[in-house]
């Protein structure tokens, strides 16, 4: 099945156009930056930098994915809604995504100007897709293996992890479209590390082409994750090379959107792969012509 146009907010992305989604965590305890963008000014500066480096989507998160202090829906909204409104004011054309599983938060951020709801916990709150439909925004449909939000996998097993990924994400995507979410604004995500051990995430990467062949645009969230760390035995701050290698493989296999911490490095990888694949011209071509 061929890949079509992806429409998010005011933006349209062609079939072979790789799209960078920059992570902006509005949390004091995020696993990667340890709260570096919890304050408004550092977070807004991060947005400016990410856009300048080539990010088309800003993904705002108000709750860390892993276990930690309880964060109520009201507190999650407090961390994200005003920020979304300010980013919308400063960057009218950037696609604003919010990483949430709660429909109450989804509704509030859509009112503030969000274009995309990134449901990383696999539809645990079915009303979130209803919110996306009501506001006409995009939705990321993720495989999380049935895990409860903010829990870590423990001895999870699958007969065939990719078959389960396809069953869940395609079901969520079709349900979303049935509710009224625009088909061209729905993405599917294999959910690396979510409800999976390292071998599961590696297999999902190796067989990513099976997701791409469904025709739904595929989003991958690979950046500095534990499956990269365990594969190379590297701590969080030493996982960039492994992340970029996984990004290159995912790009070659046809992923469309890349949720990342390091935008500039990812942009170079995606541009290189796109050029090798024949979807992009070299920035300059002087060698052998002088």
* Contact partners, residue 85, CB within 8 Å, separation at least 6: 112, 113
Closest by alpha carbon to 185, among 247, 114, 251?
Answer: 114
Taking a C-beta distance cutoff of 8 angstroms, is the pair 9, 98 a contact? no
The whole-angstrom separation of Cα 282 and Cα 285 is: 6
Q: In Å, what is the CA distance from 60 to each residue of 64, 91, 178?
A: 11, 14, 26
End-to-end Cα separation, the chain, in angstroms: 43
Q: How many CB atoms lie within 10 A of CB 225?
A: 23
Q: Which residue do the tokens 């506001």 mark? A: 135
Taking a C-beta distance cutoff of 8 angstroms, is the pair 3, 215 a contact? yes
Phi first, then psi, for residue 79 (nearest 5°) are -75, -20
The whole-angstrom separation of Cα 249 and Cα 224 is: 15
Pairing relation of β-strands 11-13 and 6-8?
antiparallel
Closest by alpha carbon to 11, among 3, 20, 24?
Answer: 20
Taking a C-beta distance cutoff of 8 angstroms, is the pair 1, 39 a contact? no
Taking a C-beta distance cutoff of 8 angstroms, is the pair 103, 127 a contact? yes
List, by residue number, the catalytic residues. 225, 259
């Amino acid at each position: 099945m061929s890949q079509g146009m992806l429409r998010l907010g005011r933006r349209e992305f062609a079939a072979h156009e790789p799209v960078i989604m920059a992570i902006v965590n509005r949390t004091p305890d995020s696993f990667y930056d340890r709260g570096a963008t919890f304050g408004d000014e550092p977070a807004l500066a991060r947005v400016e930098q990410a856009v300048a480096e080539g990010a088309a989507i800003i993904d705002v998160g108000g709750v860390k994915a892993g276990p930690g202090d309880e964060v109520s829906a009201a507190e999650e909204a407090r961390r994200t809604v005003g920020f979304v409104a300010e980013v919308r004011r400063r960057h009218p054309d950037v696609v604003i995504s919010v990483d949430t599983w709660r429909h109450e938060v989804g509704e509030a951020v859509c009112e503030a100007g969000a274009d995309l709801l990134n449901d990383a916990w696999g539809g645990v709150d079915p009303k979130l897709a209803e919110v996306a439909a009501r506001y006409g925004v995009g939705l990321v449909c993720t495989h999380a293996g049935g895990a409860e939000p903010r829990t870590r996998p423990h001895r999870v097993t699958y007969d065939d992890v990719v078959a389960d990924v396809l069953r869940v994400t395609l079901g969520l995507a079709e349900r979303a479209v049935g509710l009224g979410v625009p088909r061209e604004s729905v993405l599917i995500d294999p959910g690396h590390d979510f409800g999976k051990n390292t071998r599961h995430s590696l297999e999902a990467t190796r067989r990513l082409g099976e997701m791409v062949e469904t025709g739904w645009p595929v989003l991958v969230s690979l950046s500095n994750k534990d499956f990269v760390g365990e594969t190379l035995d590297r701590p969080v701050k030493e996982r960039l090379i492994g992340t970029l290698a996984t990004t290159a493989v995912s790009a070659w296999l046809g992923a469309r959107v890349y949720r990342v911490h390091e935008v500039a490095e990812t942009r170079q990888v995606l541009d290189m792969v796109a050029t090798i694949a024949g979807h992009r011209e070299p920035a300059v071509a002087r060698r052998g012509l002088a």
